[in-house]
A and B are shown apart, each in its own frame.
Chain A
Amino acid sequence: MTHDSPATVPGIPAGGSPEGHWLPSAFSNLGMTWVLLGLCIFFSALTWSEQQPGGAAAARGVADSILASHAPAPRVLVAVRGQPDDVAYADTLAEILRERGATIVGVVKGEPKEARAALVAANAAGEPIDVIAGSAASAAWALFTDLPTDFPALGSPSIIQPRPYAWPNFLKVENLLNIANQIAVIAILAVGMTLVIITGGIDLSVGSLIALVSVVTAVLVRDFAGGVEAGPLGMALAGLGGVAVGALAGAVSGGVIVGFGIPPFIATLAMMLVAGGGASMLAKGQSVYQVPDAFMWLGRGADLGLPNAVVLVLLLYAIAHFVMTRMTFGRWLLAVGGNREAARLSGVPVAGTLLAAYILSGALAGLGGVVMASQLKSGSPNFGQMYELYVIAAVVVGGTSLAGGEGSMIGTLVGALIIAVIQNGMNLVGIESYTQRVVLGGVILAAVLLDRLRRR
């Protein structure tokens, strides 16, 4: 199987990350932030449309308008369809109205015929109804079109539904979270790729490492942690094992690069083939899916109000930004990438710094593999195809120079978000996926050109 949304992003405005007061200065010199904002505005304008409020959030507004028009103690029938969203709306509305002195004649959550039964019963009992509160869908039921004729004892109930409002589909919370979830894996890999590119190198193996690590993790869960019966500890250990495999692959690439002076392009190209082939061998060309439902906790869960994968991404970027701007290791990376000989003659441990960059890139690719396995509840040698290119694109769009010696983590996050927003926006507007690739390629080129012009 292929994972067909290779790129997208934390739709949380990036300012929400926990990086404190030095964030504004990190943003101020990034023209790409403006590009991202522009894209968001563009897609918001394109997806501007009428929204039907639903769920618990819609209930308060409806309660207010019922009490405004039928004070002080209206008799209300709540009638909606059986969907979870409508049920939440109906229950919340009934509760609010009761608290505020209204009489709830009934709460119907289901088919029109159930609402009819409620109306028939009220009619027979001679109880008037002042208001029928529904959703946009239930308010349109034919049942309610001629109430005074059909049910004369009810009086003439008004039908009240949530007021529709205009809002971009792009900016809906669920869409933003969707973007965030889809970009999580690429954003995680891009942290490691930024470290490597800052040293003047490249890591082409990260896409294949996703596949390898997803398979390794799933196989570990299947064979050693109890398969579908696996507990949290077993799954955590399997995930750590996967990350360790990624780190090991990074150590091999880095060792070859540092020890033998092999160009990073070649060394990681070889690792890409080894890891990709290794994943297929280990999985025997199949998906490995014998994992429990709880395996999806990392990729699909949301314990802190945000999806866990998004929390992980924000955490990683906060740490990586701190490392790059505040730690000795970050300074070493910049110095090694800017002028390796001068760095060496200034006492920077060049070999160790380079090796660490590739190990971290491998480990983060491994973490990305674990997240993707969790999101898709399986491990597959087909995961992560072409991801290395999207990851490199995110880093470069984020303003990190492929020549090394400069770059920033915030820039990379913005770059990843730009790619995600473009893909998501085109999905919303209904552009087919072949066209999307063409547009994405053009946009990457344009973004980098724009940055070049701005710096001039």
Chain B
Amino acid sequence: MTTPPLLSMEGISKSYPGVQALAGVNLALGRGEVLALLGENGAGKSTLMKILGGAVRPDAGRIVIEGVEQPIRSPLDALGAGVAVIHQEFNLVPALGAADNIFLGQEVARGPAGLAWIDRGAQRRRAQALLARLGADFDADAPCRSLSVARQQLVEIAKALVAGARILVMDEPSAALTTPEVAALHDVIRELKRAGTGIVYVSHRLEEIAAVCDRVEVLRDGRNVGGAPVAAVSRGDLIRMMVGRALIEEFPGRSRTPGEVRLVVEGLSRGTAVRGVSFAARAGEILALTGLVGSGRSEVLRLLFGADRRDSGTIRLDGRPVDPRSPRAAIAAGIGLLPEDRKLQGLVLGLSVRENFSLPNLARFSRAGVVRRSEEQRACAGSITALRIKTPRQETAVRGLSGGNQQKVVLAKWLEHHCEVLLFDEPTRGVDVGAKVEIYQLMNDLAAAGKVVVMVSSDLPEVLGMADRILVMHDGRITGRIDDASKATQELIMELAVT
């Protein structure tokens, strides 16, 4: 007699008005197994995980945990059945310490029933021990808002363990982590694996999957496409399974013909975040800024765009000085920024595709403050076609679009503005493989058209695949300049980044 698997999801279906999100999906997970759940955005991964976590109820199908069918109807049910989900956005109380967060809702109590108080000493000791087991040594009393993203993630994991989770779902756990932090996270995952916890690892980063996962399961259009042990599939196989077609190449090629220098930045500084950054960008090239999170890469883009005020430094475009005192001034000077977090910074989620698209372009669509609706609609329709934005209508709220299409809307804003300088901050974060290639192609087209293209990315293969020149930052300074990106390697960049 074989023991039942840790988790078995059978024939899960779910439809939303107009969309069959899941059609009879199966998923199995063994004890101590790390399963990579792969698929483009919209493939059904998140719906499946929401069903497992109790946030969404399936139309059909059953969830069996250790041989017992579990009717999971709420996140509380899921936790009771031993399932914990660690979302990209953490559910921590910012003002409370790590220990208080870890024991939130399951406090260690002392004293007579009904009059019990929290034994904070015991909580702190147990939290500290738990964190130590996860390889962390920070103070369990420090308020969570003061912790780095990686440490907050550990707090979330510790919280799940205290709740008795045997099945852990991690949604894009490495998205906001630096490379060393990702390695540390993988050590934690291996530790949990040894203890028999089953882990569903949702990620777009194929390298990580090879590093930490045992098996992959690929979804496409709400169905199982296939599953296999990680060792048995190549990167190319995985991409083919996800997109349903073989991508000729992940990074589309482009004729590299660097032209004259257009953007010159000298001595750009702001506090300790950016210290004396100087560089020049040419027409016809893609310049990448990279480095660890917190090294000042994104901050440089924000200073160029006027999102933050610089303390000092000069910026010249085509020989003329530019003074971006505010985003409004930067936009007027022809600078556009695709911000790091498109949901918080790039888009007004409740407004429509059309309204987001025209936000920086209203002056051109209007006369005396009155928007010419037909002109606006025509331009928006043109961009939707040109960028192949998948949206039912112009009037659809961007909230309902997939990550890749949302990013295209942000890009469409700046293309419509005919920006001369385009700053891309993590242009493909949370974007599915198909849309990634399209965004890369657009970046190439912009460079070929002689625009200044500067990108920031934590994804080193992306930096290597896209950039002509690479600037590596550490602690607010440029610590490395690689003038021929084709000679760069991930190892070289990491070396410059950690100095």
Contact = CB atoms under 8 A, between A and B. Distances in A.
17 contacts: A328-B366, A329-B369, A331-B358, A331-B371, A339-B347, A339-B348, A339-B350, A342-B344, A342-B346, A343-B348, A345-B305, A345-B345, A346-B348, A346-B356, A346-B360, A347-B327, A405-B350
Contacts of A406: 350
A339 B343 CA distance: 9
B345 A341 contact: yes
Contacts of A326: 370-371, 373
A344 to B, nearest CB: 6
A159 interface: no
A348 interface: yes
B432 interface: no
B355 A331 contact: yes
Contact of B328 (A329, A331, A339, A347): A347
A349 B325 CA distance: 12
Interface in A143-161: none
Q: Which of B326, B348, B356 has the most CB of A within 10 A?
A: B348
Contacts of A342: 339, 344-348
A259 B32 CA distance: 55
A334 B332 CA distance: 22
Nearest to A327: B369
A360 to B, nearest CB: 14
A335 interface: yes
Nearest to B348: A338
Chain B interface size, as a band, is: 20 to 34
Contact of A327 (B337, B356, B371): B371
Contacts of B349: 338-339
B362 interface: yes
Contacts of B413: 346
Interface string A360-386: 000000000000000000000000000
A107 B351 CA distance: 69
A335 B359 contact: yes
A326 B369 CA distance: 9
Chain A CB within 10 Å — which of B326, B328, B337, B413 has the most?
B328
Nearest to A403: B350
Contacts of A405: 348, 350-351
A349 B326 CA distance: 9
B355 A347 contact: no
A329 B362 CA distance: 10
B409 to A, nearest CB: 11
Contacts of A339: 344, 347-350
A347 B355 CA distance: 13
B363 interface: yes
A354 B346 CA distance: 20
B176 interface: no
A6 B248 CA distance: 70
Contacts, number: 76
A342 B346 CA distance: 5
Contact of B351 (A338, A341, A349): A338
B104 interface: no
B17 to A, nearest CB: 12
Interface string A317-333: 00000000011110110
Nearest to B330: A347
B307 interface: yes
Interface in B52-87: none
A342 B328 CA distance: 12
A312 B358 CA distance: 33
B339 A335 contact: no
Contacts of A335: 348, 351, 355, 359
B360 A341 contact: no
Nearest to A329: B369
Contacts of A341: 344-345
Quick one: which of B339, B350, B355, B363 has the most chain A CB within 10 A? B350
A428 to B, nearest CB: 40
Contacts of B350: 338-339, 405-406
A171 to B, nearest CB: 37
A340 B53 CA distance: 32
A328 B359 CA distance: 9
A343 to B, nearest CB: 6
Contacts of B332: 347
B327 to A, nearest CB: 5
Contacts of A344: 307, 326-327
Interface string B316-358: 0000000000111001100001010000111111110001101
Contacts of A343: 348, 359
A331 B362 contact: yes
Contacts of A338: 348-351
Contacts of B371: 326-328, 331
B124 to A, nearest CB: 34
Contacts of B373: 326
A327 B351 CA distance: 15
A344 B350 CA distance: 16
B359 A327 contact: no
B370 A327 contact: yes
B360 A347 contact: yes
A354 B328 CA distance: 16
Contacts of B363: 328
